[in-house]
Amino acid sequence: MFVEDNSIIDYFANNEMCLGIVVKGGNERLQVQGTLPPPRKVSARQVLAIHGKAKKEHITALALLQERIQETMAEIDVELLWADLLERGDGSLSLEDICQNYFAAAEPLQLSAMARKLIADNLHFQRQGQEFSPRTAEGIAELKRLRQERAAKAALKERQRDWLAAVLTGSATAGPEAVPAEMEPFVKLTLDYLLCGFNSEVVNLLADCPHGKTARETALRLLKKLSRLPEDADEFLLVNGIHAAFPAAAAQHADSLPDFETMAQERAARRDLCAEYVFSIDDEDTREIDDALSVRTNPAGGLQVGIHLAAPSCFVSKDDILDTVAVERPLSLYLPTTVVTMFPERLGCDLASLEAGKLRPALSFLVEFSPEGELLDWEMTLSQIKVARRLTYHEANALLATGEGETGAALQVLQRQGEYLRQLREEAGAVSLNRPELKVTVRRNEISLREDDPETPSHNLVQEFMILANHLAARYALRNEIPIIYRVQDMSSEPVHPVHPYHALDFDREVRKMKRTRLSTFPQPHAGLGLDLYTQVSSPLRRYADLVIQRQLTAHLCAQALPYTQEELFAVLDNVESTTSQNRALEREARRYWILEYLRRNGMEQDYRATIVRLEGAMVLAELAEFYERGVVMTRDRHSLGEELQVRLQEVKPQLGRLVMTLAR
């Protein structure tokens, strides 16, 4: 249909009719000016009626026509029209046919009036394009029911919104006995959201609450006011959306997994290393034991060191239910109040954990050293082992000091070899920078702090052999052209020096010199470790990225197709790395929260030492000695970087992470 310039047209625009004057006509695309600028582009197929040419100023012309259309609309009885057409049973009808039936004519004025009337009614007729069909009586009844339900739901939502605001502002009575019956489902859904992460329509109401809080913060506040929060609920975890519990299906799947001892086919494919004297070294409260060591001295004075890593890939396949869960929580979180594991307890703390006295699958690195400590040869193999003894770091340090028994002697041999490996790395440029931290434990709301020293002899021993295993895994992948993700670090532009003893300002200066560690699909050096190649595979129970690399290596050892292409690998690990960074930040925030809470409860009246680490104008930032947390010092005196101050706490707000100090007088 060709439409001339200056024509007044009535056209369909989504679910409404619009009047306009054609500025630029044509067969396909039109430019149409309505009552408001700018002109709109309209397809000729959208045009319902042409009302002649505009003879007056266009706004006046459109207003007059609109008035005539409304007068004609008033003549239309939709229910009468519907009953007549339904009785005739003609199905879908064009507006021309409907107008002919009702007016005995189908002039532009009648077409425009009928279209508007039927669109406005939207109950008796169903529209498809420019055709309308009468609904059945049953269809109308169902539509009315649905609309009533929608209206009732909208009204309930408004009542929920008002009730929520009233409880939070204190204008409504709070407490479990005061919750109206119709609000109980809302409270239950709020609990499900906060405790289990179950999303529902209540999330939008919680997020829209005008208090500048997140949906989780609002949910927590509501449930506390109503006394509906479980006694053992960890508020820090809940606000940050961390759920220690696993989905029921994942937990059930983990519970159904067979013990390794019953997996005859898997055991037959693995080298039996149960004759080796294997021991593990971990924190006393660690339950996911994913590494262990063994050592044997040969007659010539050389060593065979075994580095044995847990093998959850024996139980968890790519994309299965436990793998999907692990992707969403790709790092076990060690928080003051609890541990949020990557895998359900049945798998991560039992079946795959290298528990003493239990037969377990492993990925083992068997490394041969000369009597002088030089690495002569090594191999990586799928194995089965049985850990003979579990040690804590404290126990291992005591045995290292005395060399007592088979374990003490083995530890001393490993310590000497580890020191030689560290020396080689340091000669290649490795620098160890470890900032002291406090281990914070909260039980029954009691906070205990103890220094977590990462530089004890047993820590250094374990660290060296885990670094070695990761280095050898990278070498194996490169040698066999297995796609993996390497962890690389570029050389610093200026020399980096270790900081012993720890000094806050010196530590900051040295850390700032170092380049960030990054992921790469290409083999490159890791300058901070003094190695030409490096990946991570040593913590597969606690880090999802390590499990992914373990799968690649395991598939190659079994002569199977690799589970990940290079592109898939990078996509998976890049996403996991982002989530892992967020989780590590949560660990830091949780530790700071509870340290500040400890200070708030116990240390407001004491003097402390603090070291100035930053000066920005009048702002003085200092690190509190022995607590390793930083805060602002309120002072008008002139100070210098690195200066030690005697301070007293002025303001401590754990929830805001705020620590303010003043000079002690």
Of the candidates 641, 621, 618, which has an alpha carbon nearest to the alpha carbon of residue 629? Answer: 621
Which whole number is the average pLDDT over 396-417?
95
pTM score, whole prediction: 0.75
Interval 360-399: pLDDT, tens = 999 999 999 999 999 999 999 999 999 999 999 999 999 9
Average pLDDT over the chain reads: 92
DSSP conformational letter for 539:
-
Interval 148-196: pLDDT, tens = 999 999 999 999 999 998 898 887 776 766 899 999 999 999 988 888 7
Give the percent of the chain with pLDDT over 70: 99
Q: What's the token pair of residue 409?
A: 């002697």
For residue 246, CA distances in Å to 252, 254, 286, 430, 639 come to 10, 10, 19, 40, 52
Which whole number is the average pLDDT over 46-73?
90
For residue 636, CA distances in Å to 335, 618, 619, 623, 639 come to 38, 8, 9, 18, 9
For residue 630, CA distances in Å to 219, 422, 659 come to 31, 32, 7
CA distance 286 to 348: 11
Of the candidates 378, 562, 547, which has an alpha carbon nearest to the alpha carbon of residue 472? Answer: 378
**Amino acid type, 391:** L
Contact of 211 with 218, CB cutoff 8 Å: yes
For residue 258, cis peptide bond before it (omega within 30 degrees of 0): no
Q: What structural domains and CATH numbers belong to the chain?
A: 7-135 (no CATH), 139-233 (no CATH), 248-589 (no CATH), 603-663 (2.40.50.140)
Which whole number is the average pLDDT over 322-339?
90
Which whole number is the average pLDDT over 216-225?
91
Stretch (H or E) spanning 388: strand 375-392
* pLDDT classification of 659: cutoffs 50, 70, 90: very high
Please state the length of the chain. 665
Whole-number pLDDT of residue 160:
93
Residue with tokens 């009204």: 155
Interval 270-315: pLDDT, tens = 999 999 999 999 999 899 999 999 999 988 889 999 999 999 999 9
Strands 619-624 and 333-334, by their bridges, are unpaired
First to last CA, the chain: 92
Which whole number is the average pLDDT over 575-598?
87
Which whole number is the average pLDDT over 453-464?
92
Whole-number pLDDT of residue 612:
95
Instruction: Kindly give, in sequence order, each residue whose CB lies less than 8 Å from that of residue 360, ignoring residues fewer than 6 positions away.
Output: 260, 310, 311, 352, 353, 354, 384, 385, 386, 387
Q: Name all contacts of 624-628 with Cβ < 8 Å and 24+ positions apart.
A: 624/659, 624/661, 626/451, 627/438, 627/449, 627/595, 627/599, 628/435, 628/436, 628/437, 628/438, 628/504
Q: What's the token pair of residue 625?
A: 């000695």
Contact of 400 with 457, CB cutoff 8 Å: yes
